[in-house]
Amino acid sequence: MTNFFSKKSNSRLTRLLEWGRLLLLTGSAQLLIQCLSFASGILVIRLLPIQEYAIYTLANTMLGTIALLADGGVATGAMSIGGKVWQDPSRLGRVMATAMQLRRKFVRYALLCVLPILYYLLNQHGASPLMIICVIVTLLPAIVASITGEILEVAPSLNQDVKALQKLQIINSGARLLFTSAFLFAFPFAALAILVPGICQYWKNLQLRRVAAKYADSDAEEDPEVRSEMISIVRRILPMSLYFSISSQLTIWLIGIFGDVESIAQIGALSRLAMVLTIITSIYGALIVPRFARLPDDRTLLTQRFILIQVGFTLIASVIMLLVYLFPEQLLYILGANYEDLTKEVVLICAGSLLAMISAALYSLNSSRAYVLHPGVHIPFNLLVLVLSIVIFPPTSTLNALYINLMRAVFGPLIQNLIFFRYSRLKLSHQ
């Protein structure tokens, strides 16, 4: 009996030490990656005039929208299906090849939908026709890179080749900082600030192909059976992706339509501060989500892990919120003199971003198990919250746009909890 408890204790200690080592190594690398990315973002804010930064913010927002529309749930499907065959390079290769084909198809429709809107918004806020053309052309490398980048990371992520992924991320972030500073000091134009990350990401994707080839057959062809399964996932996720493509960037969309250039720049700059949270989500995406996707269909085990992850995120968010509330002026100093008076706004965007971070983390867990609420329920509820928020806070100022963002974010974690417990109860039984 003593031997049994001793072995059990040693097993738990070994697992704790393994997680501690992974978190230390991954956290250190992610800290460096996010510091480099954050420095690039702050450099863009400080070097671009307000008018140029507003254009940059609108273009980046549309890039994010195109990326979401071009995905449509394909990456989620690749991770979910790939999690079942991750030890078989041939089958995993077919999953990735199928995902790539679907993404190439979706991106064409995304471009047709989004580029006219970008043209309208840029024209509305005073960009010249030449500037608009330059911005759209410089977006293309980033769009091309976005089609393949996330899919290429599926195989290394499932096989936990975190070291290779982070090495590429560090080089990519360092190159972005170097070239951004070199170009913008001499030529402070939005188009250049957009072009540099796209080119760096394109190089990163070339290297990712070599890494992915170690775990998945790079010559594999599209599989009709995988395609059918992936499309069934996409059909459930696509309506939500369409919704999220707008709602995730809704603050910028509203200010872009109803606000002025200064408000767009302010929202863009404040959002850049919130990007610091990506260090948490990057570690989470690299370590937690793939492991959660690989867990057996044991309802008790899945529930325990789901709750544990949620509690961890809530504690982290509480500490960050307290620090921002106590030291808003020090945080705004980073952005420069143009944004130093936004003390109330920085607290609001932090609260909204932290709630959104928790919601996105839970959504990733649910999606990795293909637990997706029917959009006929989810979307109307969110639209109702949005309409009420807009009625209460007309989106004509930075402050009101952030109140709308906060009201919408409050319901995210609650909905994701309802989704998890509903689907785990329906699909699984206690083991």
Give Dmax over CA atoms of the chain in angstroms. 79
User: How far apart (Å, rounded) are the C-alpha atoms in residues 92 and 159?
Assistant: 11
What DSSP letter does each residue of 97-143 carry, written as one string? Answer: HHHHHHHHHHHHHHHHHHHHHHHHHHHHTT--HHHHHHHHHHHHHHH
pLDDT at 185: 86
On whether the CB atoms of residues 74 and 103 are closer than 8 A, the answer is yes
The secondary structure of 295-357, three-state, reads: CCCCHHHHHHHHHHHHHHHHHHHHHHHHHHHHCHHHHHHCCCHHHCCCHHHHHHHHHHHHHHH
What DSSP letter does each residue of 135-173 carry, written as one string? Answer: HHHHHHHHHHHHHHHHHHTHHHHHTT-HHHHHHHHHHHH
User: How far apart (Å, rounded) are the C-alpha atoms in residues 217 and 214?
Assistant: 8
Looking up tokens 């972030």 gives 173
pLDDT at 242: 72
pLDDT at 166: 85
Q: Report which DSSP code applies to 275.
A: G
Helix (H) / strand (E) element for 427: namely helix 412-427
On whether the CB atoms of residues 222 and 94 are closer than 8 A, the answer is yes
Cα 210 from chain centroid (whole Å): 24
User: How far apart (Å, rounded) are the C-alpha atoms in residues 177 and 170?
Assistant: 11
| CB atoms near residue 10 (< 10 Å) | 10
Tokens of 69: 């529309």
Single-letter residue type at 165: L
What is the full per-residue pLDDT of the chain (431 aa) written as tens digits? 555 445 555 666 676 666 666 666 666 777 788 788 888 888 999 899 988 999 999 998 888 888 888 887 888 888 888 888 888 888 888 988 899 888 888 888 889 988 999 999 999 888 889 999 999 999 988 888 878 888 888 888 888 787 888 889 899 999 999 999 888 888 888 999 999 998 999 899 999 999 988 888 888 888 888 888 888 888 877 776 677 667 767 788 888 888 888 888 888 888 888 877 777 777 777 678 888 887 887 788 888 888 998 998 899 999 999 999 999 998 888 888 888 888 899 999 999 999 988 988 888 888 887 787 777 777 788 888 888 998 999 888 889 989 998 988 888 898 889 888 887 777 665 44
pLDDT at 9: 54
For the chain, give me the number of helices (H) and strands (E)? 19, 0
pLDDT at 236: 76
371-399 in b/e form (b: 16+ CB < 10 A) is: bbbebeebbeebeebbeebbeebebebbe
Please tell me the number of Cα atoms within 13 Å of 420 on its side-chain side.
27
Helix (H) / strand (E) element for 222: namely none
187: left (phi over 0), alpha (psi -120 to 50) or beta: beta
On whether the CB atoms of residues 324 and 347 are closer than 8 A, the answer is yes
